[in-house]
Structure 1
């Protein structure tokens, strides 16, 4: 639960600004057209961290690394909280985003601390923290900003990050290792992952999976705020609770992966993802169908996400941090694609067009899965090999 909380709080630092952009703009005198840079700064820092910092998790004590990254993320939050100028706010958010990749180091450490038989269950719980952070950050930021202003959001998260760093030192075991490779070698190994079939296959599934996820959560507010609903920002935010329920329900997917059913779970969940769009696509006339679609979509996304990470951490036992970091690059780019494409499609084809777009992304993920790897490791398919715990024959 500590590791899940770290993931939730760290990933929240990237999404906290979304519900308070207008308030920041009024307070700092930032034109509406430039407000997008507030969100972009955190994401740019995060992408740099995935490439440059995550491979360190394969070389040094992960407990020390997690503590350092939590403290540095808190410093970024502090800079953002007191920033008198717009550029300083952006710098603070970029620093926080850079070290928020503690999420990937934490997931890799969780996989290492688990027994082989319980790895999927552990990953299911820990990665649920990520979904809680993404969806819950909007509710938290909106509530705090309404009472004490937008700066209080960053102060509160900074304090929580420092408290978590102290808990990590007290609760988690040391992860002392004598690395046989240099940082340069780790970066080289990180790059070579993108030539391996199982990694690229699961990465592409994640790319299209989170493109579909981004399509829903970046565009859903548009039909809900329009006729006939005219919902307020607070009312629209409540749909995040439905998504949270679906995502948490999929924590069971970790147990299915432990039982050797990760491949089958992936296929079934991707079919559910496509079906979910037939319900959420009706948001213009039925809120209940929309809510059902949101629950199913988030269940499917989390089930596939946990299954992917279970297979990758089993496949790359000595490169867990790099594998998780590289995998995150795929789904970050997918989320960005979904968010960018949604607004453009909505302007020309409305919410029905967005539903078709989201379902198309889901179909692409299903096709990648169908064409996917049956990575053989001395006999047997991927699931049988992952369940056995034997080393993988690289392909």
Structure 2
């Protein structure tokens, strides 16, 4: 196949153009944003489908479990199949699942559709190792930070856009728009992803098993996965619970007002873009510990300031900066362990993160019903302290690989 000049420049190891890096970030943001449309809609969906608050939180859980399954079963194929066709293909499947969500007649069909969305909306996790392959070693942390900033922006803006669209047209319209955007981006990526050199084929069963073998081979990977899963469980626990807090008195916010809160977290996306440079400079481990301390402080602020929207917004800002800093540094570290296995290492990283995320969202409904916002924040503080303990005990394991 004859490559264009731009594609030739983007062969593996020759560097990644800034325009393509930004496009990957936008595409990843659209893909991962599909996981979070429901967050500000939970109260409305519960009302329209006549289900309890505790039950409606399960649609977030099944979406994240589906995502972990998709990352485990689909993302490893990025080490073997041509990503120029694989990535647009999974995005097209995701668009169909989103359309199913828009047309769901009841809670069970909606939950099944969103589980399918979770399984298929893995394009961002295929694009991240692809960018790592195309980037030079000196810029890999910076490039990964750019892609992750796009993913975070997608997570946060999806909440904001979801709120406005739902207030204007209803929650079903949100999923219809998401399906259209995802399909259009699939078409764009089909044309712009550079061709790759042929890679050896591996039996699918061996490919999946090799994910677990790689995790078992490196202690640095095991410690990083534990810290990442705990951090992301705090992230989903907080954001799922935040919908309950802001929709209840004294706030009683509308869906669009809840969505606007997500804009505050965009500062986390800006920080995420720059924090990858700490990895490039060899400061990854120390900054990870500082970020976990910041996450703990933000949860305490949120707990004591539950009645003040100003303090809640400060907590949102600090928590998003902290958790995304942990994510960027962990992911940069993972992608540097074994260059030939980046898609599988990313599979392990994201699957563990979203297993932790599913745990956080599953806990949010029962904790809110049992002890309200205080119970949610105390649980989050406990999880961040556990992550800090693992980080502190594993510093010597992490440091040599930085």
Q: Same fold (TM over 0.5)?
A: yes
Report if aligned partners of 1:247, 1:301 keep a CA contact under 8 Å in 2: no
The alpha-carbon distance between structure 1 residues 59 and 34, as it changes in their structure 2 partners (threshold 3 A), is: same
> 1 CA distance for matches of 2:397 and 2:118?
34
Q: CA deviation at 1:66?
A: 0.5
Deviations 1:77-120 (A, max 9, x none): 23333455665544433332211122211111111111111111
Asked if 1:145 is matched to 2:169, the reply is: no
The alpha-carbon distance between structure 1 residues 89 and 271, as it changes in their structure 2 partners (threshold 3 A), is: closer
Asked if 1:119 is matched to 2:140, the reply is: yes
**Aligned twin of 1:54:** 75
The alpha-carbon distance between structure 1 residues 266 and 146, as it changes in their structure 2 partners (threshold 3 A), is: same
Secondary structure at 2:294 match in 1:
helix
Report if aligned partners of 1:228, 1:284 keep a CA contact under 8 Å in 2: no
**Aligned twin of 2:39:** 18
Relative contact order: is structure 1 or structure 2 higher (C-alpha 8 Å, sep ≥ 6)?
A: 2
**Aligned twin of 1:324:** 346
Secondary structure at 2:141 match in 1:
helix
Kindly report the root-mean-square deviation, in angstroms, between the aligned alpha carbons of the 2 structures. 2.5
> 2 CA distance for matches of 1:231 and 1:26?
15
Structure 1 gap ranges (5+): 384-395
> 2 CA distance for matches of 1:294 and 1:178?
43
The alpha-carbon distance between structure 1 residues 218 and 91, as it changes in their structure 2 partners (threshold 3 A), is: closer
**Aligned twin of 2:155:** 134
**Aligned twin of 1:199:** 221
**Aligned twin of 2:19:** none
Matches within 5 A, 1:1-395: 1-21=22-42, 23-24=44-45, 31-32=51-52, 35-36=56-57, 38-83=59-104, 88-195=109-216, 196-372=218-394, 374-375=396-397, 381-383=400-402
The alpha-carbon distance between structure 1 residues 42 and 58, as it changes in their structure 2 partners (threshold 3 A), is: same
Structure 2 gap ranges (5+): 1-21
TM-score scaled to structure 2, two decimals? 0.86
> 2 CA distance for matches of 1:327 and 1:163?
28
TM-score scaled to structure 1, two decimals? 0.87
How many residue pairs get matched? 379
Q: Which moved more, 1:277-286 or 1:85-94?
A: 85-94
Q: CA deviation at 1:22?
A: 5.4
Report if aligned partners of 2:79, 2:344 keep a CA contact under 8 Å in 1: yes
Deviations 1:154-187 (A, max 9, x none): 2222221222122212222112322153222211
